[in-house]
Amino acid sequence: MSQGACENQLLSKLALSDKHGEASPYFHGWKAYDNNPFHPTHNPQGVIQMGLAENQLCSDLIKEWIKENPQASICTAEGIDSFSDIAVFQDYHGLKQFRQAIATFMERARGGRVRFEAERVVMSGGATGANETIMFCLADPGDAFLVPTPYYAAFDRDLRWRTGVRIIPVECSSSNNFQITKQALESAYLKAQETGIKIKGLIISNPLGTSLDRETLESLVSFINDKQIHLVCDEIYAATVFAEPGFISVAEIIQEMYYVNRDLIHIVYSLSKDMGLPGFRVGVVYSYNDVVVSCARRMSSFGLVSSQTQSFLAAMLSDQSFVDNFLVEVSKRVAKRHHMFTEGLEEMGISCLRSNAGLFVLMDLRHMLKDQTFDSEMALWRVIINKVKINVSPGSSFHCSEPGWFRVCFANMDEDTLQIALERIKDFVVGDRANKNKNCNCICNNKRENKKRKSFQKNLKLSLSSMRYEEHVRSPKLMSPHSPLLRA
Amino acid sequence: MGLPGKNKGAVLSKIATNNQHGENSEYFDGWKAYDKDPFHLSRNPHGIIQMGLAENQLCLDLIKDWVKENPEASICTLEGIHQFSDIANFQDYHGLKKFRQAIAHFMGKARGGRVTFDPERVVMSGGATGANETIMFCLADPGDVFLIPSPYYAAFDRDLRWRTGVEIIPVPCSSSDNFKLTVDAAEWAYKKAQESNKKVKGLILTNPSNPLGTMLDKDTLTNLVRFVTRKNIHLVVDEIYAATVFAGGDFVSVAEVVNDVDISEVNVDLIHIVYSLSKDMGLPGFRVGIVYSFNDSVVSCARKMSSFGLVSSQTQLMLASMLSDDQFVDNFLMESSRRLGIRHKVFTTGIKKADIACLTSNAGLFAWMDLRHLLRDRNSFESEIELWHIIIDRVKLNVSPGSSFRCTEPGWFRICFANMDDDTLHVALGRIQDFVSKNKNKIVEKASENDQVIQNKSAKKLKWTQTNLRLSFRRLYEDGLSSPGIMSPHSPLLRA
């Protein structure tokens, strides 16, 4: 290896920067899991992975379909005749039947209330590639995007690392269930303008497990239309909605708002969550802007979906009765799992933000903090990882503006494992309650006031920080193919 | 679309609105013509034959046979479905361990087993396209320069430059010494770049060469490795044609040179390889690109970047199984080389009958055809383009003009011969022979015009200078850059 000074000359600034995010303290949970992964028989005392938003609840339905449809694969005796055509296919439009199948699936995942044109479907290397691509298309280095907090931690890398784009957080508060308000948007927008930062758009994602209601979406669309900036809606959890209100796509909203400039509207989608196929790397950019469609398509050359995978999915997603049944069933199973988990938590006095979608809940542990500071949040988090032995994600890793919230995933494991996790949490909570009674006399007024000031300073610093990361940002060896977590 | 009169350009990024994707180039005329009138032996026997696409379809039957005999390699068969959940959820950017091991193993075998590759250094990318962009992002900042020998693969102008902001400066190679790259030429280009206050970060080249179809010998490679070490710049070698060698001895990978050169003469942190299964195995649709670096920091950075273009885990598993089958791999490499050799010989022998020569080559899926004697004016790129349009419109072949590869001399054309069946190749050869024989008279007529040529020599020279200058600013592209509708799944060109 070269000397340090030489190293700086040798590689690019991108290679030397830490915007890939893996130097973050938030990887502590992943490392703990990786060093000691739970397995019901091989390692029953190991760390349970609840920091990964994966959907493993319906892979059995897909396997059943595969068994009944051998011709869908180019690697079966029934499908081998297509092998040559598919193996050499590298057109960046993607297989026509694949684009059509994706468009149809997107429609059905939105209850058939909206139409999608296959010609606007552009492939990417997962939602990761899709998000980066849309940034390259819409913004220049130095430009910024507004992102409501808390937000998906990998955005800090995906949207920023190679594009040079900046993120301006729009703070949302638990007092109104983290809803995005026009006031907060205007405030963030004006502040950015005063600093001379060019805002190119607003990106909406849903790390809360809630779907946006119609009024909120309409106000967001009005906001960006007034400012003539872009709206990028990350709808990768569209089909994981399991309760009211149902999922409303921005595509639905703009159908009714005839005056909106559609050139400003773009959707990012993926099959990683709704179908539980992250390894297939199917990301989609869907834009109402013809120039963006064209540009994104050319950029997709850097992250095309394997034609083998395109061919298989085109066949499966074209099966209307399979898709309809799948969507109903995934919603049902996520609901059941969500209910099981939240009920379990409530029994021990832990509440969660009310949610109706996603593969996780936002758990409220504010009452378990020593004081309302992010330091206390981190301290509690380390206890949860090291002693309770559960890898969850602290709210600060999502740029949550209030300490005490934790995202907990529940769809990447079997029911037995979830029960074990609940028992561990219960043991911890009961133990914590006992400790709290013992120590209550030590709290004094002076200490409380100092902590409060510290909290404010911490909060201010955090809102300017942008170094938060988690899933999809893998540290070495995580989720190896032999992880006992995965069902084989 | 949207409000009337709205200025869309103002709203999008510079990258979205510039033309560095390259598809507005006139060099897409051949593709457009092919797309409108694609040849098919029975359905459209007078259509345009695609000879501008470097695809290897000669050995797909071997792969199909293997797939039939190994159903457990796919997660979509009864035999392999028990792995479905594990694989469908696998998204680690290291890739399946088995896949990396298989790739490293295959890379070793494709280089005659003379060098070993470390699976821990294998990083996935979205095809060689993604791999080349990734390596640029890792090594250079916007405005930095990479030297590249010309003629070179046209898509580099997009892949290396578009989103990275990196610049390319050609190292001209001449037909007088068979377009061989020399350290002197690299040295010259390096100095020229420095004189222009450009920061040169490295040299990137393709070995075996596209479009030449030739290999660098070990001495030249060794000298290049010493050159970059002296300059402290990177050497990126695109070896995606490593297993297409069909004659003339062994392919020498830069990895071999790294092993053999005295340790004091090489800084391994400067050496990187780009690889892909698109050409050697004929599987471009699977998007398997590889960055292999001897620099630990580059490996680490490229791996993180691979998140933007990972290979489908479904495809990883299948290929891991296939490439771990030594018997299959050994037979495949031998048979591929043999079939390419036969195809190359049939082609070059066929055009020799038309008095057309090619650069002597021993690798690749194409020949570098010398048509200088058919140009109206041997010093004119305009004449080259004129001839090219005749070849497309009248001969009905889509080939690639040398200027699209930034060749500094007009009259050379790359012609691909591995993406079609024998019958189609014979039709193409027949067309070429017909064309040349019909135009023999015109060549004779040309001789009688010598007096006029002499008189206009001065004017022609000026014209050439202007043309050459203009050309150097033009962006050129072809295969790997599919334009709309090209190579659709129903293209009659493909064997179904």
Domain of residue B153: give its range.
Answer: 73-325
Active site residue A236: yes
Q: In this predicted model, what pLDDT tens digit does every residue of A180-215 receive, in sequence order?
A: 998 899 999 988 989 899 899 999 886 789 889 888
CATH number of B356's domain: 3.90.1150.10
Is the model's pLDDT at B457 over the cut of 60?
no
Q: In this structure, is residue B493 part of a structural domain?
A: no
Domain of residue A429: give its range.
Answer: 15-59+325-433
Q: In this structure, is residue B67 part of a structural domain?
A: no
Answer whether A66 sits within 8 Å of B81, measured CB to CB: yes
A49 and A95 both lie in a single domain: no
The answer to whether residue A258 neighbours chain B at the CB level (below 8 Å) is: no
Candidate from B21, B74, B312 with C-beta closest to A281: B312
Q: In this structure, is residue A472 part of a structural domain?
A: no
- List the single residue in B with minimal CA-CA distance to A139: B13
What's chain A's average pLDDT? 85
Is the model's pLDDT at A386 over the cut of 80?
yes
Answer whether B91 sits within 8 Å of A302, measured CB to CB: no
A245 and A108 both lie in a single domain: yes
B382 and B239 both lie in a single domain: no
Q: In this predicted model, what pLDDT tens digit does every residue of A25-53 receive, in sequence order?
A: 777 797 799 899 999 998 998 999 999 89
- Check residue B406 and give its pLDDT: 81
- Check residue A205 and give its pLDDT: 82
Q: In this structure, is residue B309 part of a structural domain?
A: yes
B319 and B348 both lie in a single domain: no
Q: In this structure, is residue B301 part of a structural domain?
A: yes
Q: What residues in A contact B486, CB-CB < 8 Å? A: 91
- Across A154-173, average pLDDT: 93
- Across A470-484, average pLDDT: 34
Active site residue B153: yes
Q: In this structure, is residue B465 part of a structural domain?
A: no
- Across A258-271, average pLDDT: 93
Q: What residues in B contact A67, CB-CB < 8 Å? A: 78, 81
- List the single residue in A with minimal CA-CA distance to B271: A10
- Which of B465, B367, B405 has its CA nearest to residue B154? B405
- Among B402, B436, B470, the domain-final residue is B436
A77 and A200 both lie in a single domain: yes
CA B99 – CA B123 distance, rounded (Å): 10
Q: What percent of chain A has pLDDT over 90?
A: 64
- Tell me the pairing of strands B412-416 and B400-401: antiparallel
Of B3 and B386, more confident: B386
B192 and B236 both lie in a single domain: yes
Active site residue B240: yes
Report the alpha-carbon angle B103-B109-B110, nearest 5: 85
Asked whether the bond before A40 is cis by omega within 30 degrees of 0, the reply is no
Overall number of domains in chain B: 2
Q: What percent of chain A has pLDDT over 70?
A: 87
- Among B401, B436, B471, the domain-final residue is B436
Is the model's pLDDT at A66 over the cut of 70?
yes
CATH number of A22's domain: 3.90.1150.10
Answer whether A261 sits within 8 Å of B3, measured CB to CB: yes
B296 and B417 both lie in a single domain: no
Active site residue B279: yes
- Check residue B442 and give its pLDDT: 54
- Check residue B437 and give its pLDDT: 86
- The phi, psi pair for B401, rounded to 5°, reads -70, 145
- Across A394-416, average pLDDT: 94
Tell me the count of A-B CB pairs closer than 8 A: 327
Q: In this structure, is residue A172 part of a structural domain?
A: yes
- Check residue A322 and give its pLDDT: 97
Cβ under 8 Å to B: A residues 42-101: 54, 56, 59, 62-63, 66-67, 70, 72-77, 80-93, 95-97
CATH number of A263's domain: 3.40.640.10
A253 and A140 both lie in a single domain: yes
- Among A287, A304, A319, the domain-final residue is A319
Is the model's pLDDT at A103 over the cut of 50?
yes
pLDDT class for A440, splitting at 50, 70, 90? low
Overall number of domains in chain A: 2
Is the model's pLDDT at B446 over the cut of 90?
no
Q: In this structure, is residue B91 part of a structural domain?
A: yes
- Among A319, A344, A361, the domain-final residue is A319
DSSP string, A232-286: EEE-TTGGG--SSSPP--HHHHHHH-TTS-GGGEEEEEESTTTSS-GGG-EEEEE
Is the model's pLDDT at A483 over the cut of 80?
no
Q: What residues in A contact B161, CB-CB < 8 Å? A: none
B270 and B193 both lie in a single domain: yes
CATH number of B262's domain: 3.40.640.10
Q: In this structure, is residue A36 part of a structural domain?
A: yes
- Among B280, B304, B325, the domain-final residue is B325
Query: How close is the nearest chain A Cα to the Cα of B465, in Å?
Result: 33
Q: In this predicted model, what pLDDT tens digit does every residue of B249-298 receive, in sequence order?
A: 889 999 999 988 887 888 999 999 999 999 999 999 999 999 999 999 99
Write out B206-227 in H/E/C secondary structure: ECCCCCCCCCCCHHHHHHHHHH
| Bridge partners, A269 (sequence order) | A284
- Across B113-122, average pLDDT: 94
Q: In this structure, is residue A97 part of a structural domain?
A: yes
The answer to whether residue A22 neighbours chain B at the CB level (below 8 Å) is: yes
A26 and A105 both lie in a single domain: no
Q: What single letter denotes the amino acid at residue B265?
A: E
Q: In this predicted model, what pLDDT tens digit does every residue of B308-341 receive, in sequence order?
A: 999 999 999 999 999 999 989 999 998 999 999 9
- Across A255-279, average pLDDT: 93
Q: In this structure, is residue A338 part of a structural domain?
A: yes
Is the model's pLDDT at A362 over the cut of 60?
yes
pLDDT class for A23, splitting at 50, 70, 90? confident
Q: In this structure, is residue A441 part of a structural domain?
A: no
A167 and A76 both lie in a single domain: yes
Q: Do B117 and B108 form a contact (C-beta atoms < 8 A)?
A: yes
A46 and A83 both lie in a single domain: no
List the binding residues of B for substrate.
55, 93
Q: What residues in A contact B20, CB-CB < 8 Å? A: none
- Measured distance between the N- and C-terminal CA atoms of chain B, rounded to whole angstroms: 40
- Among A273, A294, A319, the domain-final residue is A319
A227 and A212 both lie in a single domain: yes
Q: In this structure, is residue B221 part of a structural domain?
A: yes
Answer whether B92 sits within 8 Å of A480, measured CB to CB: yes
Q: In this structure, is residue B355 part of a structural domain?
A: yes
Enclosing H/E stretch for B295: none
